[in-house]
Amino acid sequence: HEVPHLPGKRPKEPGENKIKPVNKKVKPKTPKMKERESADSSLKSQSILTQVMDKGRFQKLAATLSLSAGQSLELRCKGSNVTWNYPSYLDTFKDSRLSIKQLDRYGQLILANSTAADTGEYSCWLQLCNGNKCRKDETKTGSTYIFFTDKEELFVPTPSYFEIVYLNPDKPAVIPCRVTTPSAKVTLHREFPAEEIETDGTDIIYDVKKGFVYQHPTSDHKGIVYCKAESHGAPQISIKYHLLYVEVPKGPPSATIAASSNRAEVSDRVHVICTALGEPDVDVNFRWQYPGQESERPVIIQNFWRLINRGTGHTIRISKSILLVEDFEARDAGNYICIAQNLQGETTVATTVELN
């Protein structure tokens, strides 16, 4: 079973790519010669990933591939320790249509009865292992983006009817209305006021593998939008996307401090609360300096955080540290200093508690 000789590709070397059909019990011959480095690196990166065609033929994969929904797919990736990556939704539903096996000399991925929702990137790479530590071998990877076209489903179906997209001023935002047919004409629309949003190809671009990309999101972009696709038939509409603008100042935590009382009697119970506001995914650490520290006066310090929704579709993290003095003494009077720190820096705040 020879692989068809494609123009412009180097001739095959002896023993290369001759993979015998499975039903014949033949020991595969090991190639005697090392495969020459291909000058074209993008071709080289694809070379470990092939698609198995009918009658035992193989096809090297280009950057994109279009198949009809319903077709089955078999990919092979050369190597004895292959890791696969494929659209995450196939994992979400523990899909039985997907089967992945590692054989002696290649990894195999089979997807049966494909659907429009399987559209996405399929890639593989080899693991380099040393003992029990493994890492990705960057020189041996293969990747292709597969469109499973379906006239009834121009947009890649999603499990929800509505999605939230956060607009962050310092990174591009993606409205993920991907299509199953690369040639479909896709436009972006605002729900209210009802209008098409101009995509100029610089500030807002359409990428068939991602959707619409806002390069520089601003608060003007917030609101509800949807996408519309046309391809030889009635236009179809995507789910709705709610664009929310998130503006949290980057930098050290924004912190405040307050004591339960700034004047205390002997044996009072006094607590000082340090509060920091910040981005939902940024950790804050607290350190304290207080009058009884030198004499190792026992105090209790508790830290915790929670997320709160500001109502404008904008979530922040509130982190608190509470320092508690159980029975106040003269040596506890003085300055209570809280230092709140994140990766961007630290903020120091202080308050005084005096003895009455």
Q: pTM, whole model, 2 decimals? A: 0.60
Secondary structure of 3-53 in the HEC alphabet? Answer: CCCCCCCCCCCCCCCCCCCCCCCCCCCCCCCCCCCCCCHHHHHHCCEEEEC
Task: Tell me the average pLDDT across 311-326.
Answer: 83
User: What average pLDDT does range 308-332 have in this prediction?
Assistant: 84
At 298-316, the pLDDT tens digits run 999 999 999 887 655 567 8
User: In whole angstroms, what is the distance from residue 282 CA to residue 280 CA?
Assistant: 6
41 pLDDT more than 50: no
Mean pLDDT value of segment 284-299? 93
Alpha carbons 140 and 183: distance in angstroms, whole number: 31
Task: Please provide residue 217's backbone torsions phi and psi, each rounded to the nearest 5 degrees.
Answer: -65, 140
Task: For residue 11, give the amino acid letter.
Answer: P
CA distance 216 to 14: 53
Of 177, 209, 237, 186, whose CA–CA distance to 66 is shortest?
A: 209
What does the pLDDT look like over 150-189, one tens digit per residue?
999 999 998 888 888 888 888 899 999 999 999 999 999 9
- pLDDT 10s digits, 128-140: 888 778 888 888 8
Determine what percent of the chain is predicted with pLDDT higher than 70: 84
* Burial label, 343 (beta-carbon count in 10 A; 0-12, 13-18, 19+): exposed
Element (H, E) at 128: strand 120-130
